[in-house]
A and B are shown apart, each in its own frame.
Chain A
Amino acid sequence: MTSASSTKLDFANSPINQALTTERKIELFSQMVRIRRFEQAGLKYYQAGKIGGFLHLYIGQEAVAVGTISLGGADDHFITAYRDHGHALAVGMGMNECMAEMYGKQTGCSKGKGGSMHFFAPDKNFWGGHGIVAGQTPLGLGLAYGLKYLGKEGCCLCYLGDGAVNQGAFHESLNIAALFGIPVVYVIENNGYSMGTSQKRSSAYSGCLAQRAEAYAIEWDVIDGSDIYEVRAKTHIAMERARKQHQPTVLEIDTYRYYGHSIADANHKKYRTPEEIENYKQNHDPIAVFRRRLIEEGVLTEETATAINKAAADEAAASVKFAEESPAPTIADISTDVYWETDHDTSASKIGRHFFND
């Protein structure tokens, strides 16, 4: 959904965006394009039956992950729900390991044990990829608690959808975040629909969903998710509040998904009008908006943009080939990564029976 604001500010002039070099701007644009091309390839091979399970596409929402994660420093951490491909690529995970994971291959980021909804890269401060709506919200709280406990000046960005705001775990997390002064930023990626139920039919609210934060004395803001400059400018403030003041924030980033809740969502053209989808694509597509902007700024040319697009499509195609050619997990692989102690063959793992197979 898009903000109704008629007096839109230009966030290109905010210091955090003024600090962007030409190269960095092109890199952010490229990341958004890569996410879209990766997912388009995923969709193609999901529909061809090569990828199992669910496929929750991020297409239309790319500026949210790319804009927010671009602000991350060494001690900033990220965790999200099952619509996780965009965040995974934005933190720097490779297309190969992500595509192979969706293919259920041994070379996948989770060795084919997690699937599309469960991408992880702790070495890049990315902690998943979580399948239960709002189940990750206490974990994000805990990552931020851990940062504070360990004396790190960092924060955790914890993403959730607009449907997740009605889960108890989220409210418990907000209360604790405020009570304990936890450096967590909750980012509600509001695409307007919790599966097939619109925001108005699923949530009780006065102005917006983020405003619920007031009940917990937490700062909040609303962001136009089609404008990566606005995403960066406002999220930066929340992250600084977390890092420097140990105070949480709830951000609501208005965005839109072009596809259904998942590709198994057969009704997504029934609960939304074709006009609504078309309007977003024409006027608010985050990649098209940023592309136009960068061309206006003289940062990008049509030729460069086209080349970036082609490179991303080629990279996605190569990741499909990598996934296709990778080996599947073995039956023996089913029983690893269950316990740390057995995986590391420790003395503790040799005492008592850990597995109860027939």
Chain B
Amino acid sequence: MSRILTYREALREGLDEELARDPNVVLMGEEVAQYNGAYKVTEGLWKKWGDKRVVDTPISEAGFIGMGIGASMLGVRPVMELMFWSFHSVAFDQLVSNAACVRYMSGGLCNCPIVVRGPANGGTGVGATHSHIPEGLFAAFPGLKVCAPATPADVKGLIKAAIRDNDPVYVMENTLLYGTTGEVPDPAEGDFVIPLGVADIKLEGSDVSLIAHGRSVIHALAAAEILQTEHGINAEVLDLRSIRPLDQDAILKSVMKTNRVVLVDESKPFGGVSAMVAMLIQEHAFDYLDAPIKRVCSIDAPAIYSPHIEHEQLPNPRRIVDKVLTLV
């Protein structure tokens, strides 16, 4: 039996199950223990697992993430929370030069089985410093893996896969998704793990492919409904879920079926995930395209604060619908 859980609860359940499965899994981050998590993702876990397994760190992202990387080389499996992925920049040397490169520079002698997780999104009126969306940035570094789950079931399945993976995996969540609900399989029915690298068709369609990840998937689904009811356009929504490794086969299969594609990506337009996906589509499915590949990204400026206009900077159903209508 599936249950209805919030994204936050499903994520917490995944963390809890992995803490139970492997005594070397340790959660670390700012306010994750006694405060119960800035976004309450880890609520109750410190009380259940104690000081050794759930660790409050000072506000020292370079210090505690580097500490987790060092510990992982000895076999500890740290799962580190960034209160916001926006704070990656103060730990960038550790996240990139150490986590991504230590295996390579040691000729494969070291490995770094860490997870870094936290929200990476705009849309909450917190301005440019707290609204960075770096999944494309980190996916650009070989050695790293990145995923961006959109639903409660996906975040549970992917966090468990990320923790079990023997490479560094950066999980990008979304504060606006934490309270959303969805069906999640009951643990009594077995271990629920979603492998990295598998996309998911969230809605079958035939006229246009909307390819998205993270909260953009939710917008794409809303746009698909409008397209169907108001314009008679049957859109398919493909959720990438995992950015690197990337399910290229699922992308191409969808595009070859619908022959039209709009990529929805909360990142800025220059470079990034949708730019990479567009490159792969033109290289491998060029002859199947009946129209140019189009994108809906965040408007190309630092994140604006104003709650009056912020949602217009980000992908939203109306912008997606408008973009699709230019294609068909």
Chain A residues packing against B (C-beta within 8 Å) = 77, 79, 108-114, 118, 120-123, 127-132, 135, 137-147, 149-150, 168-169, 172-173, 175-176, 179, 336-341, 343-344, 346, 348, 351-356
Given contacts A143-B74, A344-B166, 17 further A-B contacts (CB under 8 A): A77-B74, A108-B107, A109-B107, A109-B109, A114-B107, A118-B106, A120-B109, A129-B105, A138-B64, A139-B66, A141-B70, A142-B69, A150-B24, A339-B103, A339-B143, A352-B245, A353-B246
Contact A175–B70 (Cβ < 8 Å) = no
A-B contact pairs, 6 of them (CB 8 A): A77-B74, A113-B107, A114-B106, A120-B110, A337-B103, A353-B246
Given A138-B66, A176-B60, A338-B142, residue A122 in contact with residue B110 (CB < 8 A): yes
Most buried by A among B68, B75, B167: B167
With both beta carbons as reference points, the residue of chain B lying nearest to A343 in the complex is identified as: B108
CB distance from A218 to the nearest CB of B (A): 14
Q: Whole-angstrom distance from the CB of A41 to the nearest CB of chain B?
A: 22
Q: A141-B67, A352-B242 are in contact. Are A120 and B107 (CB under 8 A)?
A: yes
Query: Which among B70, B167, B242 is the interface contact of A143 at CB below 8 angstroms?
Result: B70
Please tell me if B299 contacts chain A, counting CB pairs below 8 Å: no
B42 CB-CB contact with A under 8 Å: no
A128 touches B106 (CB 8 A): yes
Q: Which residue of B is nearest A134, CB measured?
A: B93
Q: Are B102 and A353 in contact (CB under 8 A)?
A: no
- Rounded to whole Å, the gap between the CB of B61 and the closest CB of chain A is 8
Contact in complex: A110, B70 (CB < 8 Å): no
Complexed CA–CA distance, A69 and B52 (Å):
30
- Is the pair A353, B70 in contact by a Cβ cutoff of 8 Å? no
The residue from A109, A146, A337 contacting B73, defined by CB atoms under 8 A apart: A146
CB neighbours (8 Å) of B60 from chain A are 172, 175-176
Measured between beta carbons, the chain B residues less than 8 angstroms from A118 are: 105-106
Q: Which residue in chain A gives the minimum CB-CB distance to B243?
A: A352
A129 proximity list for chain B (CB < 8 A): 105-106
Closest chain-A Cβ to B195's Cβ sits at a distance in Å of 5
* A173-B91 Cα distance, complex, nearest whole Å: 12
- Determine the residue in chain A with the shortest Cβ distance to B57: A176
Q: Is the CB of A110 within 8 A of B57?
A: no
- Complex Cα spacing A130 to B195, Å: 32
A-side contacts of B298, CB under 8 Å = none
Q: Answer yes or no: B6 CB below 8 A from chain A CBs.
A: no
Contacts of A127 in B (CB 8 A): 70, 73, 110
Q: Quick one: which of A113, A142, A143 has the most chain B CB within 10 A?
A: A142
B174 within 8 A of A: no
Judge whether B58 and A139 touch: CB under 8 Å: no
Give A346 to B111 CA distance when docked, in angstroms: 15
Chain B, residue nearest A108 (CB):
B107
A152 and B265 CA atoms in complex are apart in Å by 46
Q: Say whether B198 faces chain A, with CB atoms less than 8 Å apart.
A: yes
In this complex, how many residues of chain B approach chain A with their Cβ under 8 Å: the count is 54
0/1 per residue, B152-188, Cβ < 8 Å to A?
Answer: 0000000001000111000000000000000000000
- Chain A to chain B: the 4 pairs with minimum beta-carbon distance, closest first: A352-B197, A142-B70, A138-B66, A352-B245
Residue B65 at the chain A interface, CB threshold 8 Å: yes
CA distance A29 to B55 in the complex (A): 44
Bound: A14/B189 CA distance, A:
64
Instruction: State in angstroms the CA–CA spacing of A111 and B107 once bound together.
Output: 5
Query: How far apart sit A108 and B108, CA to CA, in the bound complex (Å)?
Result: 12
* Mask of B227-271 contacts with A, CB within 8 angstroms, 1/0: 000000000000000101111100000000000000000000000
Q: A336-B108, A352-B246 given as contacts; is B98 within 8 A of A149 (CB)?
A: no
Report Cα–Cα, A176/B142, bound state, in Å: 30
**In whole angstroms, how far apart are the Cα atoms of A179 and B65 in the complex?**
16
A146 to B166, CA, bound (A): 17
Q: Given A150-B76, A341-B165, A351-B197 in contact, is the A142-B66 Cβ separation under 8 Å?
A: yes
- Contact in complex: B107, A135 (CB < 8 Å): no
Q: Within 8 Å CB of B66, what residues of A?
A: 135, 137-139, 141-142, 169, 173
A354, B76: Cα distance in complex, Å: 24
A71 CB to closest chain B CB (Å) equals 20
Q: How far is the CA of A128 from the CA of B72 in the complex (A)?
A: 15
Give the one of B97, B108, B161, B244 with max A CB within 10 A. B108
| Given A176-B58, A176-B63, A341-B167, residue A138 in contact with residue B69 (CB < 8 A) | yes
- Minimal beta-carbon separation of B220 from chain A (angstroms): 20
Q: Do A128 and B105 contact each other (CB < 8 Å), given the known contacts A122-B110, A353-B245?
A: yes
List chain B residues, Cβ under 8 A from A110. Answer: 105-107, 109
A58 to B248, CA, bound (A): 48
Q: What residues on A are CB-neighbors of B248 within 8 Å?
A: 352-353
Complex Cα spacing A102 to B58, Å:
39
**Once the chains bind, are A138 and B67 in contact (CB under 8 Å)?**
yes
A326 to chain B, nearest CB (A): 13
In angstroms, Cα B145 to Cα A129, docked, is 24
Given contacts A122-B106, A143-B74, contact A341 B63 (CB under 8 A): no
Task: Report the Cα distance A175→B60, complex, angstroms.
Answer: 9
Interface centre among B24, B65, B75, B93 (most CB of A within 10 A): B93
Q: A139 and B69: CB pair below 8 A?
A: yes
Return chain A residues, CB-CB under 8 Å to B71. 142-143, 145-146, 149
User: Is B197 touching A353 in the complex (CB atoms < 8 A)?
Assistant: yes
Q: How distant is the Cα of A116 from the Cα of B276 in the complex, in angstroms?
A: 34
Query: Are the C-beta atoms of B143 and A351 separated by less than 8 Å?
Result: no
How far in angstroms is the closest Cβ of chain A from B83? 16
B278 part of interface (Cβ distance < 8 Å)? no
Chain B residues contacting A132 (CB-CB under 8 Å) are 93, 97
CB distance from A63 to the nearest CB of B (A): 26
Chain A neighbourhood of B198, CB < 8 A: 351-352
Asked if A135 and B98 sit within 8 Å, CB to CB, the answer is: yes
Minimum CB–CB distance for B137 against chain A, Å:
15
CA separation between A157 and B97, bound complex, in Å?
21
Q: Residue B94 at the A interface, CB < 8 A? A: yes
B94 touches A135 (CB 8 A): yes
Contacts of A336 in B (CB 8 A): 108
List residues of chain A with CB within 8 A of the CB of B74: 77, 142-143, 146-147, 150
Give A349's nearest chain B residue, CB to CB: B245
Complex Cα distance A5/B71, Å? Answer: 39
* A170 to B66 Cα, complex, angstroms: 11
